[in-house]
Chains A and B, each alone.
Chain A
């Protein structure tokens, strides 16, 4: 069973005071997220990621379309008990402590009192805030707030977790921790749907991704599939201090640092370069196939979208 089925959700705002011009925040979206996967929802700022999430949460009402979450209508109140949500740059009642906040949210989620206490302790430990649980949230750093946010999202042990830009504003340590947490959620059999514009995170974590740009879906698929559709390159490293002229002519990129030289060539030029190196008696260190990054795929898709948009105007 699919965890999320988005069936043509659309959102158009009317902006302007007198003559209301329509602003398409989200064109009709068709998307499915499978049970138990980590799904990345990628796109630049203002692409419609947050709008999609808000539509699914019922914070904003769609102009058209519907969705099913965990097999039920997305507006069904019983769905809410099974999902957790971390909004972008969250802010919480700053007069509460972390412990009180989780208690409160637990009450609202209907976690029975007996379980609640235990669960709050557990979650605080899981997100690494046990030591500061008595501190008022107004004193929390951004990273700590993010962790509280994740905590409230998983407190009631939901099957499906929605995270909007969970790594934003975090230092590398924080990001690593969040990544580990998300892996753990997957391990527990939960489905994670998160949006981000940081592609390296998506690449590392996701099973599948979708790319959205200016309110429209531009591509969906498994990460490996998307990145392998573009022809690969090869990275060749040898010991030396300069690049032989023959190679320089062929190569797009080359780097020299210390006594290592590194060049990147097309896959089909690989053998030729190795022959040249052997002739020049250079010592080969490594030959590594470079998979095109998600970033390249991303940029490619966006650029294509721009040109098609340009041509239609």
Chain B
């Protein structure tokens, strides 16, 4: 069972790589080095701030785009192209397929992020000429970004299991935007009454709450991160992803593959 999941995961990774996904790294490197050089010349004491903010935001955004655009096709493309039939005629359970795809996509993003992190640290070194202890916070920020990716991947997969690629992209992207404003949604819900209050509160807990994962600004100002927060975020990401994946498994299990 585990072996099959691992094989599906590595095949998904292989597909992403051969799909030239990793070329996005080129765009990223160009962007970051361009910015670093430009800012290094202006030199008004915020170079480090710019590099960290720009670098990490780019890591986050590029990653979300990849997570969505690859994720939405993971299942629906296989159904459309009928590559799925020969896979499922083997002793592969449907849920193993979903989980395998998830790990493959998440793995792709982890590798992508890792490579980008090297770029960020490289640009940082270029503008600061040294590393300080506080720079380790960047690793925490990257970890949180990866947790965000895990959530988005699971959602993309969920939509892919029942919806066309176009609709899935719309749904996933919308949830990402709403998720960034989820705290405000909870505030709005808190001020509403009656039925709308219940519905809004329910919605606020079902959408992914991504605000807690974005610590880019604060670590750019070298503010420390509570260990408790790291734990809570990890737990939240795991629970949320398992919720979305359970949904994906549930839907996929019951589907007729016409």
Contacts and interface: CB of A to CB of B under 8 A. Distances in A.
A6 to B, nearest CB: 17
B8 interface: yes
Interface residues on A, range: 20 to 34
B91 A78 contact: yes
Interface residues on B, range: 20 to 34
Contacts of B82: 87, 89-91
Nearest to B256: A60
Nearest to A152: B86
B43 interface: no
A84 interface: yes
User: Could you say which of B19, B93, B257 has the most chain A C-beta atoms within 10 Å of its C-beta?
Assistant: B257
Interface string A33-75: 0000000000000000000001001111100000000000000
A95 B18 contact: yes
B256 A80 contact: no
Nearest to A108: B90
B42 interface: no
Given A95-B15, A107-B3, A90 B88 contact: no
User: Could you say which of B92, B93, B254 has the most chain A C-beta atoms within 10 Å of its C-beta?
Assistant: B92
A25 B90 CA distance: 25
Contact of A105 (B86, B93, B257): B86
A84 B89 contact: yes
B11 A87 contact: no
Interface in A95-114: 95-96, 104-105, 107-110
Contacts of A54: 85, 257
B83 A91 contact: yes
B91 A77 contact: yes
Interface string A158-196: 000010000000000000000000000000000000000
A81 interface: yes
B129 interface: no
Contacts of B4: 107-108, 110
Nearest to B19: A95
Nearest to A57: B89
Nearest to A55: B256
User: Could you say which of A61, A92, A95 has the most chain B C-beta atoms within 10 Å of its C-beta?
Assistant: A95
Interface in B1-20: 3-4, 7-8, 11, 14-15, 18-19
B130 interface: no
A107 B14 contact: no
A110 B91 contact: yes
Contacts of A105: 86-87, 90
Contacts of A87: 82, 85-86
A61 B256 contact: yes
A60 B258 contact: yes
B10 to A, nearest CB: 9
Contacts of B193: none
A175 B99 CA distance: 39
A85 B83 contact: no
B232 to A, nearest CB: 38
21 contacts: A59-B257, A61-B256, A77-B91, A80-B91, A80-B92, A81-B90, A83-B89, A85-B85, A85-B86, A87-B85, A91-B82, A93-B83, A95-B19, A104-B11, A105-B87, A108-B4, A108-B7, A108-B92, A109-B90, A153-B86, A162-B89
Given A86-B86, A91-B83, A104-B7, 14 more contacts: A57-B85, A59-B88, A77-B93, A78-B91, A80-B89, A85-B85, A91-B81, A91-B82, A95-B18, A104-B11, A107-B3, A108-B4, A108-B7, A152-B86
| Closest 7 A/B residue pairs (Cβ) | A85-B89, A95-B18, A80-B91, A87-B85, A107-B7, A59-B257, A60-B256
Interface of A: 54, 57-61, 77-78, 80-81, 83-87, 89-93, 95-96, 104-105, 107-110, 149, 152-153, 156, 162
